[in-house]
Amino acid sequence: MIALENITLLYEGREVLKDFSLNIPPKERLVILGASGSGKTTLLRLIAGFVAPAKGEITINGSIVAKEGKILIPPHKRAIGMVFQDLALWPHMNVEENIAFGLKVHKVPRKTRKEKVLEMLRLVGLEGYEKRRIDQLSGGQQQRVAFARALALSPKVLLMDEPLSSLDPELNRRLRKEIVRLQEVLGFTLVYVTHSEEEAKEIGERKIILKGSVD
């Protein structure tokens, strides 16, 4: 369970969110919908732990992770994965190295890392691509690598920030189905940001609409 209670967030002295509350049950697919600048990405950053609320508190699985301007539990200890809009893949690393990056940071043994990478490649349908460079992949394949990297650490929560916005309509539709499939197979909580009503309808079990002025 993720709970945001009476959250106020300031950005350059302005209120981005005010007295905002939201509960996200385990294993839910929640879509945050809104135009550019509505505060969607800011809300993800709050949940991830990159920013702290000026007022209110954030609780994840019963533990207070942020409160009144303080981050009490940092991002890397929240069991949260994130897929960014620009994917943030490492161009100097191959597919295997990208997926294994977080595992290596967490000092997972080499053999276990190798096994996990292969498991993730099977899950996203990229078996045999371990040694491919990122610039040798299509846009859809790069998206799948980003999904695999985020899921490699078995997060309880996956945050996705408009991950399909740069793809053509057909590939966008195919990957929407893939996101739903992965969530159903692995059982993580999904918080998905988009400005697309079509994506929101297909991916979300529930949606909320933000109408702010800063993202």
Q: What is the pLDDT of residue 170?
A: 87
Q: What percent of the chain has pLDDT over 90?
A: 70
Q: What is the pLDDT of residue 188?
A: 95
Q: Over the stretch 118-134, which tens digit does the pLDDT of each residue have?
A: 999 998 989 999 999 99
Structural domain contains residue 59: no
Q: What percent of the chain has pLDDT over 70?
A: 98
- Cα separation, 168 vs 121, in Å, equals 23
Q: What is the pLDDT of residue 136?
A: 94
Q: Over the stretch 143-177, which tens digit does the pLDDT of each residue have?
A: 899 999 999 999 999 999 998 887 888 888 888 99
Structural domain contains residue 138: yes
Strand partners, 71: 66
Output the pTM of the full model.
Answer: 0.88
- Label residue 193 by pLDDT band (50, 70, 90): very high
More confident residue, 195 or 39: 195
Report the domain count for the chain.
1
Query: What CATH number is associated with residue 169?
Result: 3.40.50.300
Structural domain contains residue 99: yes
Q: Tell me what the mean pLDDT of segment 32-50 comes to.
A: 88
Structural domain contains residue 169: yes
Q: What is the pLDDT of residue 86?
A: 81
| Angle formed by the axes of helices 110-124 and 139-151, nearest 10° | 130
Domain that holds residue 156: 24-51+74-209
6 C-beta neighbours (distance < 10 Å), count:
13
Q: Tell me what the mean pLDDT of segment 37-59 comes to.
A: 91
Q: Mean of the per-residue pLDDT values for the chain?
A: 91
- Cα separation, 141 vs 130, in Å, equals 12
pLDDT exceeds 80 at position 212: no
Structural domain contains residue 42: yes
Structural domain contains residue 8: no
CA proximity to 132, closest of 99, 179, 169:
99
* Residue 202 contacts residue 169 (beta carbons within 8 Å): no
Structural domain contains residue 11: no
Structural domain contains residue 68: no
